[in-house]
Amino acid sequence: MSLLVLDVSVAVKWVLPLTGEPLTAEALELLDRFAKRKVDFLVPDLFWVELGNVLWKAARTGRCAPKDAEAALLALRSRNLPTISSDGLLEQALSIALTFDRTMYDSIYVALAVQAHCDLITADERLANALAAHLPVKWLGSIEQSHIAR
């Protein structure tokens, strides 16, 4: 089983699927591999705050009902994703942010992948393009299923 740091941009495709949304099929395939225990995920505690914010905004803008946003959060929390405190990632994340001109939010995920010796999977193509040559960041649209299942 392989270990991956999961970016909230991937998980959002599980909880707020839209018809025609890019990379939804790839995200759902990754979730299926998780359910089959072919891959495991690791997230920083920031993941939950970001997910809550996306769900709040979706409810606020009418993309989903508030009760659906609450149910989506509970459903994902019930998957018991191992969650790591951002506290031990801050110095490395700041170094990544300063070196590569990325936000601290993104850099927390990258720092976790570096420390866990695994890849960060993101649906954020710009993030992947900016960092993939230097750090363990993979764009969801470019990963091969064999990479996920290793």
List the domain boundaries for the chain. 2-46+82-149
pLDDT of residue 146: 44
pLDDT of residue 103: 97
Q: Spelled out in words, what is the top-level CATH class assigned to the domain 2-46+82-149?
A: alpha beta
Residue 53 half-sphere exposure toward CB, CA atoms < 13 A: 7
pTM: 0.91
Packing angle, helices 66-77 and 46-60, rounded to 10: 160
pLDDT of residue 1: 76
Residue 84 to residue 7: CA distance in whole angstroms? 13
Report residue 103: phi and psi, to 5°: -70, 160
Task: Give, for all 150 residues of the chain, the pLDDT tens digit.
Answer: 799 999 999 999 998 867 677 898 899 999 999 999 999 999 999 999 999 999 999 999 998 999 999 999 999 999 999 999 999 999 999 999 999 999 999 999 999 999 999 999 999 999 999 999 999 999 999 876 544 544
